[in-house]
Amino acid sequence: MSSPSYPLLLDIAGRRVVMVGGGPVAARRAAPLVDAGAHIVVVSPYLCEELAELVAAGRATWLPREYRAGDLDGAWLAHTATGDRLTDDAVTAAAEAARIWCVRADDAEQSSAWTPAVARVGDVLVAISGGRDPRRASRLRDAVQAAMETGSLPLRRRRRDGAGSVALVGGGPGDPGLITTRGRQLLTQADVVVVDRLAPRTLLDELDPDVEIVDVGKVPGNHPVSQDEINRLLVEHAVAGRRVVRLKGGDPFVLGRGGEEAAACRAAGVPVEVVPGVTSAVAVPSAAGIPVTHRGLAAQFTVVSGHDGLDWPSLARLDGTLVLLMGVSRLRESTRELIEHGRDPATPAAVVEDGYGPRQRVTVGTLATIGDLADERDVRPPAVVVVGDVVTLAAPPVDHGEVAP
């Protein structure tokens, strides 16, 4: 049975660490030490490429010779990885005599210290010992790393450090599985979440009960919280030292007014991070089997808001696919404008409702018919309108004039 060990994190910034050996194993051990700010001294007659790069960059010192007695003088920690047992024995004995912790690469039983497998996300570090079984430790580390990255483990800081921040997180088209890993991490660490109507709201159920949820959802024709007020809320909470996540549907910079929110935060001196999301302009059509580009049909696509003030003559002349977001309420006007300015009335068109949601439904027609079809079927937002030949690729059972459940 292995002797008991005591886990401890060390601050080795600026402290001398002696690495005996110049091969790849020594390089793997040296890299995290350098990242932690240690003063690394490598003792070896040769260096592998990775260690040579550290020395050339001034991040390590090289003594180009064999190990000698006295090389550990002034060291706080020693690593030996020469591959020569007699040398490693000598380093281990010298370290023991000098009361210096020593990590030995070739024989864990002879070491007085061991390097754990490490999982790290942001400022959270988890060190894992596999009972001196490195493969076991690596597998455990990988599982913990994945759980932290996907937000399955509670990463939220309970003790505030006084530094507030804002993250503009794109939540994707609504399915909670389509948020990015980074977005999920930040959400699990948030003190305040300012959430839109079309964001993946089921993720909120997983947050701690004391996380403040601020609902600023908008529905067509009803915006109870103005954009200026949203900007003010983000800044106010961050200045108070809270970590704020602005959770949006789609991507925050694709017709999501994320640029305005980021500018407001920066103007107030608040750190802001933008996490891209899967935009509904591409994802929702793909849920219906409609690619926005396809060889031989469309080499480009254009995304616009379906609201007033569009340059319809220019849009009608564009090649490729036209995607209208927030375009259901003005669908008839939009299709009429496109036809009046030269777009063929027979151009295929589709409306995809509630992409990736429980009400997902696809209505397919042409520019000339899609307005009537949408009325007949009581098409409602959220929905994405797609105009172009790529609509002909819609997945079965969608046919002209039919609705897919």
- CA dist., res. 79 & res. 83, Å (int): 12
* Residue 196 known to be catalytic: yes
Those residues with Cβ within 8 angstroms of residue 210's Cβ, 6 or more apart along the chain or in another chain: none
* φ, ψ dihedrals at 213, nearest 5°: -105, 120
Q: Name the 3-class secondary structure at 189.
A: helix
Q: Own/partner pairs for 151-155, CB < 8 Å, 24+ apart?
A: 151/181, 151/184, 151/185, 151/187, 151/188, 151/206, 153/188, 154/188, 154/208, 155/121, 155/122, 155/124, 155/185, 155/188, 155/189
Start-to-end C-alpha separation, the chain: 62
Instruction: State the angle between helix axes of 227-239 and 258-267 in degrees (0 to 180), rounded to the nearest 10.
Output: 40
Measured CA distances, 122 to 58, 125, 157, 385 (Å): 26, 8, 11, 39
Angle at 357 between CA 353 and CA 361, to 5 degrees: 35
> Any catalytic annotation for residue 248?
no
Q: DSSP state, 60?
A: E
Q: Is the peptide bond before 397 cis (omega within 30 degrees of 0)?
A: yes
Q: Which of 240, 128, 139 is CA-nearest to residue 192?
A: 240
Distance CA 62, CA 42 (A): 5
SS3 103: strand
Q: Which of 196, 248, 251, 354 is catalytic?
A: 196
Residues annotated as catalytic are 196, 218
